[in-house]
Structure 1
Amino acid sequence: MKDTKIQNDSSKYGASSIKVLEGLDAVRKRPAMYIGSTGPAGLHHLVYEVVDNSVDEALGGYCNHIIVTIHPDGACSVEDNGRGIPVDIHPTEKVSATQVVLTKLHAGGKFDKDSYKYSGGLHGVGVSVVNALSSKFEVVIWKNGKEYQQFYVNGGHPVADLKEIGPTDKQGTFIKFYPDAQIFEETNFNFETLTARLRELAFLNKGLKIDIADKRIGEDKSFFYEGGIASFVKHINAKKNPLFEEVIECHKEDDTYVVDFACQYNDGYAEQTYSFVNNIRTAEGGTHEAGFRSALTKSLNRFAQKQDALKDGPISSDDAREGFVGVLSIKIPEPQFEGQTKTKLGNSEVKGIVDSWLYSFFDTYFEENPTIARKVVQKALLAQQARNAAKKARELTRRKSALESSILPGKLADCSDSDPSKTELYIVEGDSAGGSAKQGRDRFTQAILPLRGKIINVEKARMDKMLSNNEIKDLITAIGSGIGNDSFNIEKARYHKIVIMTDADVDGAHIRILLLTFFFRHMKPLIEAGYLYVAQPPLYKVKLGKKEKYLQTDSELNEFLFNWIQENIDLKVNNNNLEEKEIEKLFQQILEYQTELYKFSNNIELSIKNSHELLNFINNTNTKIAQHDAQELINSLRNYFPKYQIELEQEKSVDDLMAGEETPTVKQFITFKEAKRSWQVPLNFFESKETENVLNLLKPVCHLDKDAWSFKLKNKETFAKDTGILKLIDQIVDLGKSMMTVQRYKGLGEMNPEQLWETTMNPETRKFLQVTIEDAIKADQWFTSLMGDEVEERRDYIQKHAHFVKNLDI
């Protein structure tokens, strides 16, 4: 990494730079007002607020390195090498400036123009809100050759005053916080969610290095991009086929504003524009995006007119951006956003500035690069032709008034309530399932739309071809919100719950992914608004004795079986009968281990059998977690598993390769090879916190394995005796399964209307998965790879993950 020079005038950033506006009283009462929600999005917003403060230091030229760490105890810390929060006594508050910043809302250097010229946190609530919503909070400051420390508890109450610890040669700030479990729905940070945002920030701030480490699982990544937003465009476009290799770049600035822009076109149909203001993502666009769109469209039309290419009228803004991938990053002194969520820029003067600067740039660029300009114009003219061909079809899909409702699809069984907030649309597969759903539904609030066959793969289709597909047309008409940038209006959506309800077989899975691709590419605002769901119909109908139940997963099937066993067996250990409560405790231990083993195996992409084998290896050989030597570990594994050929190998991160990273992370794996198959486990399996947690659940069960166990059905003969607990459990489970009737549902049409209502459509008993977008760029890359034209990547993915398939339908 090249050294990025940082300024060293931290002495000017003192208590007098901190402006105080109000206290923190309301934050804990109404946290959603400050961080958006108390769900996962709000939880991760805490980290972003702290990181944004460090990035503000980088924007000012005072910081070039940020380190984010997720700790095993649930905390998250952020460290930077900036100037450090001021530590002297505040002139009006009479406590340290550190305490003012951390306990007063709207207190910070962001309200002092001399401290930060550009800042993302316009409202300045950042780190004080994080403190208010944390059960424990620690700050360490390295400033002016001294180290300072202070602790807070229970939502921002200082344990003691800021304390000087001693001398130091470091400079910067370290903040560690524990999200308050009484406020947040969950307090478990997601490594991938944080990684996506930190990668974004590294792209946007050329010369800033950002490291993230997850100590729970032994994962770490480092981001540093010499190319800035040009590298960002290459990253977004990594899985596409670019029309030209060069990334178009522009940088303009004056004493007040900075505009950075980069773009590239591909042979696809979707537009991807990512805009930022002072490093804050403006997902809803705003005046800066309006200025860019105007500049690009005018420049393209001017060039096309000179080439006498406008036979069918001028190129529209949408036509100009088909297959466009671009990043627009501006910096302005006082951004005006719509609320603290900062999703849309409102500064009216910015449109004219961006329009003027980028129009001048594009005009010159297209003149100097006519080959690239002609390719872009040709792409736009093809889009124009398709738009004209699709215009009639699109008009038919627009939502009509109540007087014109007769144009709704004939196969749509609509509901009688017209309030979208109360109504639900079920998209079902075929007439068979549609018939059951129509008969079983609540006709007042639930509408049914059966699809006949598979819809078109929109990843490979232009708009005109897509709109000629009858299933797509019916879907758009039924939803009512329109389609395309020029006509989509989420306010016109006729349902606020759109439910994909397909069969549990391979065809159902294919239809589901085709529908998800359609919604992601052409109705993404519905996903972002939380309107899209996937129904979870039961996989099994189970009968055991007099009990009958619908179950959705193998884990639920196991739990049902264990509960029945507890009620119907007598269990002995060393010839002593176990009381019912003791049996219940024992089976709870075993079930907890099995449940966690199932989740654990899925997370690390390993079969349950192989995970159990490795955990037994660690337990039986006393392999020390986090204290192994790689080669010594390999030798131990070879001795323990003679049936496998075991090797230590290296592999580049699939996620990083998919994301087009210039320097993908290299991970170490241990490969286990048999005659007909092989499987891998990451080396950090043997040192991760998750492995240790599951192992701790296995150990008490293994300890019981040394005793002599026997069991029998109540009032029946003994089935097994004098065996270890693990073998005994296998025998009990086998017996239970032999007495259990299991019906596996492949199609919704196999259920009668009453069953479908009770299991899948009744609001009181059903289970839905809500479709969300955690990382839009990664989602785009996966859709491109798995649903696009690149057969090679799709084949590699299938081969790599084939051994995880269960219940394969052939």
Structure 2
Amino acid sequence: MTEPVTAIAEEEYGADSIKVLRGLEAVRKRPGMYIGDTDDGSGLHRMIYEAVDNAIDEIMNGYGDSCEVILNADGSVRVTDNGRGIPVAIHAEEGISAAEVALTKLHAGGKFDQNSNRISSGLHGVGISVVNALSEWLELRIWRHGKEHFMRFRLGEPEAPLAVVGDCGDRTGTQVLFLPSKGTFSFTEFDFATVEHRLRELAFLNWRATLTLKDHRHAEPHEVELHYDGGVQAFVQWLDRSKEALHAPILVTAEKETVRIELSMEWTDSYHETCLCFTNNVPQRDGGTHLAGFRAALTRTINAYANESGIAKKEKIALSGDDMREGLTCVLSVKMPDPKFSSQAKEKLVSSEVRPIVESLVSEKLAEWFEEHPQEARKVVGKAVEAAAAREAARKARELTRRKGVLDIATLPGKLADCQERDPALSELFIVEGDSAGGSAKQGRNRANQAILPLKGKILNVERARFDKMLSSAEIGTLIAALGTGIGRDDFNIAKARYHKIIIMTDADVDGSHIRTLLLTFFYRQMPEIIEKGYLYIAQPPLYRAKRGQSEVYLKNERALEEYLIDGGLADAVLNLSSGAQLGGADLKRLTEQARTVRTLITPLTRRLPMKVVEQAAIAGAFKSGLLTDRASGEAMGTAIAARLNALESHLERGWAAQWVEGDGWLFSRTLRGVTETHAVDAAIVRSQEARRLDEIAATLIETYQGAATLVAKDKETRIDGPVALVGAVMDLGKKGIAFQRYKGLGEMNPDQLWETTLDPEARSLLQVKVAHADDAEEVFSTLMGDVVEPRREFIQSNALKVANLDV
């Protein structure tokens, strides 16, 4: 790997390195300008990334080597590093500590003075101050110069000046603990996989770093440690773990002027190119000057080798850049001061000085590799020759199909039921499975702007097929012709798309899921612009039809079905509480909705405990953290829960007893017919996110379910011992007199039903297809649709238990 960066002198990164531009007022008024979208989750997760970026900047410049991120049960996040620590001395201009300046002044940081941070991903210098401004509260700890410093903020304002709270010996670093503001973000729940994806990228790109992500929100804490000695080389191997590599990854590391590049690449048996570009750890989806320099170097080097080795003359075929990049996986990381991007999103690098540097360095190193590895070099050029031959065959096939009119819309009258509208922005194409559904859809549609294209059977898996073979597929030819965009790098034109809503509409069974996956693979691999433009959708037809007398209603999923049954069950129901109070109407409706929430919170905990144990512990109010250390209260709580469990059982099934374990909760056990069962409500469960939320409503639970309640409806009485029993009893009442139909095929619906549920823009539900992370999407398609079996088996084994309500 590259040599360690020479650390910048300690005295150069002090209080005076923090340059102030202006305050934080604008952040709270227009948070989207500074942190990103506050509704879709991207801005929320950016809060973590900004804090982590500060740690990575320290590591990039030779200070520190670790960063830990903890997702806490109360919704807060703790980010801790072992860098130098934010400067704590009094800032000369502001008269307050430099740490307070960094957290309360916009554009205040060490990133604008190149003497402080030579390389930085936090170019805009708003990161940590914006995190502070958009948090309910933030706690800052700094270990520097042998002292531990502490400061707390609320809504961006300091509660007290920075204070020394203890000694820390040789420890250095910064810790930020913050709770995102619910007034700013539509939702404040962090997604573990999203955070892990970004931290994994950073760990690959900064091979000195060890990044740890811990999830303390659930009863079973989850932790991953991310450290890759191989850097970008390991990144490429990780991306290609579902493919067969033709050779070991090529590694290029070099530095010229102020630009340092790290490049790793390898060719696989895939037919698709994957190239990830980064500048100072920031990904560029649209590439830029660094990618242009790399591609130019690659084309020139391979062409030179093909000519010098005689391969080009022997094969009598001209290689294009696309041929050379077929099956290529590449990670290109550039680190430089003051990079320039096309926009604030940093999705394209436009620093012109980068291209010649990358081009010359890659050309030189790649030529050396080709000379030193002649056998592997011949494999690479051989693959490019095969790609060129396939390209030529595809061109001939395309010309042939064009002459025959296979890709011409005029040849599709029997397959495509087109619409009258000629404005693509107003037109919709429904791709349906089979003639049966196609017939109903054709009759039920709005002919003015809705076109129907039925496909027979399963289309070709394009992940495993070359371009010329794909064009020979009749169903794919039909699809290409209907879309009107053409196909292939030279012919595809998104401006010619005949429809701006392309809706995949398949059955809710195994075959339908497979066909949908094959179509998604086709669009992702061959027409990614359709996804990027937001043209691709998946229809969400209803799963159920419920009929009561002459009234019928369509229900799109399990949740809608449950709500329908609850509404029916509550119609004449009354709940008699043990206190003598009666609940009915709106009051009972609210209580039932709360019971559903409780059931949702309890369900994750039932992976370790029976439902009844968790439920009765919640009703008794066991999820207060203080009970773990208070013996008298803890033992009394254990006795109360055991009594509630015994009250649920018949006389012969009782015998529950509790044992309080200091600091670790309770053990509940009973012995029946010589067999002892034991269940632990331990500290991990008590501190979980679900338990915290249950504790927030504990008073209501105790008041409602302190003793057994009775649900009365139509002369029927049902004993209710908890919220889960309440939901079940109400739904049982709602099922009476209702006939259900579970739809598995669209062909089962009449044309008018299909219009009412799936085609009518006023009533239907659609999912828009988007690609959030290109490397994640690449991995999923390669794993599930590629030739290598082992990664697919591992994927199924590791994810099988996460599936709920599998009904296909």
Instruction: Choose from 358, 369, 374 the match for 2:373.
Output: 369
Could you say what secondary structure the match of 1:746 adopts?
A: coil
Instruction: Provide the residue aligned with 1:593 in structure 2.
Output: 598
Aligned residues of 1:138 and 1:151 also touching (Cα < 8 A): yes
Instruction: Choose from 728, 737, 740 the match for 2:738.
Output: 740
- Structure 1 CA distance for aligned equivalents of residues 599 and 619 of structure 2: 18
Aligned residues of 2:289 and 2:355 also touching (Cα < 8 A): yes
- Structure 1 CA distance for aligned equivalents of residues 188 and 491 of structure 2: 40
Could you say what secondary structure the match of 1:348 adopts?
A: coil
Please state if 1:35 is matched with 2:35. Answer: yes
Instruction: Choose from 451, 456, 472 the match for 2:455.
Output: 451
Farther off after superposition, 418-427 or 273-282: 418-427
* Cα distance change, pair 460–335 in 1 and its aligned pair in 2 (3 A): same
Please state if 1:303 is matched with 2:301. Answer: no
- Structure 2 CA distance for aligned equivalents of residues 61 and 47 of structure 1: 22
Q: Deviations over 1:68-119 (max 9, x none)?
A: 1222222223222222223334344444333333333333222111112222
* Cα distance change, pair 498–77 in 1 and its aligned pair in 2 (3 A): farther
Farther off after superposition, 209-218 or 730-739: 730-739
Q: Deviations over 1:107-166 (max 9, x none)?
A: 322211111222223333322332333332333322333333333333x33334434444
Please state if 1:719 is matched with 2:716. Answer: yes
Instruction: Choose from 229, 233, 254 the match for 1:252.
Output: 254
* Cα distance change, pair 195–287 in 1 and its aligned pair in 2 (3 A): same
- Structure 1 CA distance for aligned equivalents of residues 242 and 670 of structure 2: 39
- Structure 1 CA distance for aligned equivalents of residues 323 and 661 of structure 2: 58
Could you say what secondary structure the match of 2:571 adopts?
A: helix
Farther off after superposition, 345-354 or 32-41: 32-41
> Where do 1:96-495 residues align within 5 Å?
96-154=97-155, 156-169=156-169, 170-217=171-218, 218-244=221-247, 246-310=248-312, 311-392=315-396, 406=410, 411-415=415-419, 420-484=424-488, 488=492, 490=494, 493-495=497-499
Percent of aligned pairs sharing the same letter: 45
- Structure 2 CA distance for aligned equivalents of residues 381 and 395 of structure 1: 21
> Where do 1:3-82 residues align within 5 Å?
7=7, 9-38=9-38, 39-82=40-83
Aligned residues of 2:36 and 2:43 also touching (Cα < 8 A): yes
Could you say what secondary structure the match of 2:332 adopts?
A: strand
> Where do 1:694-733 residues align within 5 Å?
700=701, 704=705, 706-707=707-708, 709=710, 711-713=712-714, 718-720=715-717, 730=728, 733=731
- Structure 2 CA distance for aligned equivalents of residues 722 and 124 of structure 1: 61
Could you say what secondary structure the match of 1:151 adopts?
A: strand
Q: Deviations over 1:371-407 (max 9, x none)?
A: 1101111111111111111125557999xxxxx9757
Question: How many residues are paired up?
Answer: 757
Give the root-mean-square deviation of aligned CA atoms.
3.9
Could you say what secondary structure the match of 2:331 adopts?
A: strand
Could you say what secondary structure the match of 1:500 adopts?
A: strand
* Cα distance change, pair 142–636 in 1 and its aligned pair in 2 (3 A): same
Could you say what secondary structure the match of 2:429 adopts?
A: strand
Could you say what secondary structure the match of 2:28 adopts?
A: coil
Instruction: Tell me by how many angstroms 1:172 deviates.
Output: 1.9
* Cα distance change, pair 800–247 in 1 and its aligned pair in 2 (3 A): closer
Aligned residues of 1:566 and 1:587 also touching (Cα < 8 A): no
* Cα distance change, pair 196–254 in 1 and its aligned pair in 2 (3 A): same
Unmatched 5+ residue regions in structure 1?
Answer: 399-403, 648-669, 671-680
Instruction: Provide the residue aligned with 2:643 in structure 1.
Output: none
Instruction: Tell me by how many angstroms 1:579 deviates.
Output: 3.8
Farther off after superposition, 616-625 or 287-296: 616-625
- Structure 2 CA distance for aligned equivalents of residues 557 and 373 of structure 1: 60
Instruction: Provide the residue aligned with 1:676 in structure 2.
Output: none
Aligned residues of 1:13 and 1:83 also touching (Cα < 8 A): no
Instruction: Tell me by how many angstroms 1:328 deviates.
Output: 0.8
The one-letter code sitting in structure 2 at the alignment partner of 1:269 is Y
Please state if 1:518 is matched with 2:516. Answer: no
Instruction: Tell me by how many angstroms 1:727 deviates.
Output: 6.3
Instruction: Tell me by how many angstroms 1:48 deviates.
Output: 1.6
Instruction: Provide the residue aligned with 1:508 in structure 2.
Output: 512
The one-letter code sitting in structure 2 at the alignment partner of 1:781 is E
Aligned residues of 2:24 and 2:133 also touching (Cα < 8 A): yes
Q: Deviations over 1:219-253 (max 9, x none)?
A: 12111111111111111111211112x22111111
Unmatched 5+ residue regions in structure 2?
Answer: 403-407, 629-659
Instruction: Tell me by how many angstroms 1:430 deviates.
Output: 2.3
* Cα distance change, pair 546–82 in 1 and its aligned pair in 2 (3 A): same
Instruction: Provide the residue aligned with 1:780 in structure 2.
Output: 778
Instruction: Tell me by how many angstroms 1:641 deviates.
Output: 12
Q: Deviations over 1:253-280 (max 9, x none)?
A: 1341111111122112121111111111
- Structure 2 CA distance for aligned equivalents of residues 16 and 378 of structure 1: 58
Aligned residues of 1:555 and 1:595 also touching (Cα < 8 A): no
Could you say what secondary structure the match of 1:283 adopts?
A: coil
Aligned residues of 2:573 and 2:711 also touching (Cα < 8 A): no
* Cα distance change, pair 731–276 in 1 and its aligned pair in 2 (3 A): closer
Please state if 1:755 is matched with 2:753. Answer: yes
Q: Deviations over 1:352-385 (max 9, x none)?
A: 1111111111111111100110111111111111
* Cα distance change, pair 496–335 in 1 and its aligned pair in 2 (3 A): farther
> Where do 1:527-606 residues align within 5 Å?
527-545=531-549, 547-572=551-576, 578-596=583-601, 600=604
Instruction: Tell me by how many angstroms 1:192 deviates.
Output: 0.8
- Structure 2 CA distance for aligned equivalents of residues 296 and 637 of structure 1: 68
Farther off after superposition, 386-395 or 314-323: 386-395
* Cα distance change, pair 739–467 in 1 and its aligned pair in 2 (3 A): same
* Cα distance change, pair 35–633 in 1 and its aligned pair in 2 (3 A): closer
Could you say what secondary structure the match of 1:105 adopts?
A: coil
Could you say what secondary structure the match of 2:183 adopts?
A: coil
Could you say what secondary structure the match of 1:568 adopts?
A: coil
The one-letter code sitting in structure 2 at the alignment partner of 1:105 is L
The one-letter code sitting in structure 2 at the alignment partner of 1:333 is P
Q: Deviations over 1:776-805 (max 9, x none)?
A: 434333332322223455456557777857
- Structure 1 CA distance for aligned equivalents of residues 511 and 194 of structure 2: 31
Could you say what secondary structure the match of 2:353 adopts?
A: helix
- Structure 2 CA distance for aligned equivalents of residues 427 and 54 of structure 1: 48
Could you say what secondary structure the match of 2:735 adopts?
A: helix
Aligned residues of 1:8 and 1:83 also touching (Cα < 8 A): no
TM-score, structure 1 normalization: 0.83
- Structure 2 CA distance for aligned equivalents of residues 146 and 55 of structure 1: 23
Instruction: Tell me by how many angstroms 1:745 deviates.
Output: 1.1
* Cα distance change, pair 20–683 in 1 and its aligned pair in 2 (3 A): closer
TM-score, structure 2 normalization: 0.83
* Cα distance change, pair 380–224 in 1 and its aligned pair in 2 (3 A): same
